Chains A and B, each alone.
Chain A
Amino acid sequence: MIKTPLCDLLNIEFPILQGGMAWISDAQLAAAVSNAGGLGIISSMNADENWLRSEIQKAKSLTDKPFGVNVMLMNPHVDKIAQVLIDEKVPVVTTGAGNPGKFMKLWIEAGIKVIPVVPSTGLARFSERAGATAVIAEGGESGGHVGEMSTMPLIPQVCDVVSIPVIAAGGIGDGRGIAAALMLGAVGVQLGTRFLVAHETNIHENYKDKIIKAKDIDTTLSGRSLGHPVRSLKTTFSKDFIKAESDPTTPPEVLEEYGRGALRIAAQEGDSQKGCFMAGQIAGMIKEKQSVKEIILTLADETETVLKGGLQWVK
């Protein structure tokens, strides 16, 4: 059994979180992860409060275990979303793309555990000071919007500056990765890419097939010039985007417009001409579509084996 303080803190069996993924992690996936003993997280992306309320209620009908909601702070409906989380007594909220300061107090007073995703030690310290329950330190190996730091140097440095629990994310795909994260000082992990291929993940089959086919070198970064780089699989879309981006005459608005909705197209239509298939560098290691339960039990087993095996080097 792998047990860390995060299990008690979040009331979960395994210290494994399924990261919020826009257009992808819905009630079905989140509930499956929570039922399997991890913490499932619904992504509220740019959705409005009505969509989120019904998704939360759906998750509650599918699991009696705790689950979380990922809030994108740039969401125009964020004020109403923040209130729905309180009304529905969602146990855990993770935040990305912005500063949760404004809602922190409200959520914490309502008993919600707030876990910001941070790309640097500065934001980790800032989050702790604002009352965060824990932080997810995410390295740029991950899929989706990424920071500059890699997981390996980020995790121990974040662990050194905060006293709240640190959850590692970015580039973790099996028990070796989880064991390594724990050795770096994290007490839990968040995975995104590995869950893309779960049977319960409601995305176009092309997306899952592309992840299975991907090699280590098959992801790329686009959107650097816009200030928010995105890691995705190399496809016609990503190549065209990077070409447009490197042409100084392309106005940023055109790029923003081009990128908008591209993840939705990938997830729902599986179209590699127009879709942006966000995925992390660990995609190359994912070779099998499995149920969420198989994924979580395999991860937990592997972690245990790897951690026990580590002692062989201690003479």
Chain B
Amino acid sequence: MVLEKVVEILRNYKDEQDLEVTMASTFEELELDSLDTVELVMEIEEAFDTSIEMDGELQTIGDVVTLIEKAIA
């Protein structure tokens, strides 16, 4: 369910409702640069009312989903 929500946030962020996103999608493939990543991760954190470590290791959507799942577990 975390993934679904993240995908929804991503689609809204990019304003592309049929954007293909999987756990393996990288920020790079989604054409998101490091500034977009910061912005997005903050939106995602706010949506889940939690916070995760953003230490530059975030490459894929799966990385974010896993961290969020851990944070809200």
Contacts and interface: CB of A to CB of B under 8 A. Distances in A.
B33 to A, nearest CB: 8
Interface in A147-186: 147
Contacts of A129: 42, 51
B69 interface: no
Interface in A74-127: 98-99, 101-102, 119-120, 122-123, 125-126
A101 B39 contact: no
Nearest to B41: A126
Nearest to B45: A129
Interface in B3-50: 33, 35, 38-39, 42
B54 interface: yes
B54 A101 contact: yes
B67 to A, nearest CB: 13
A98 B56 contact: yes
B55 A102 contact: yes
Interface residues of A, number: 13
B56 to A, nearest CB: 6
Interface residues on B, range: 10 to 19
B53 interface: yes
A99 B56 contact: yes
Contacts of B35: 119-120, 122-123, 147
A227 B54 CA distance: 20
A138 to B, nearest CB: 13
Nearest to B53: A101
Q: Could you tell me the dominant secondary structure of chain B's interface residues?
A: loop
Given A119-B35, A122-B35, A123-B35, A99 B42 contact: no
Contacts of B55: 99, 101-102
Contact of B38 (A102, A123, A147, A227): A123
Given A120-B35, A120-B39, A126 B54 contact: yes
A125 B42 contact: yes
Nearest to A122: B39
A280 B22 CA distance: 42
A126 B42 contact: yes
Nearest to A123: B38
Contacts of B51: 129
Contacts of B53: 101
Contacts of A123: 35, 38
Contacts of A101: 53-55
Nearest to A124: B38
Contacts of A99: 54-56
B58 to A, nearest CB: 10
A102 B55 CA distance: 7
B42 A122 contact: yes
B54 A122 contact: no
A227 B28 CA distance: 12
Give the one of A98, A102, A122, A147 with max B CB within 10 A. Answer: A122
Given A122-B42, A126-B54, 13 more contacts: A99-B54, A99-B55, A101-B54, A102-B55, A119-B35, A120-B35, A120-B39, A122-B38, A125-B42, A126-B38, A129-B42, A129-B51, A227-B33
26 contacts: A98-B56, A99-B54, A99-B55, A99-B56, A101-B53, A101-B54, A101-B55, A102-B55, A119-B35, A120-B35, A120-B38, A120-B39, A122-B35, A122-B38, A122-B39, A122-B42, A123-B35, A123-B38, A125-B42, A126-B38, A126-B42, A126-B54, A129-B42, A129-B51, A147-B35, A227-B33
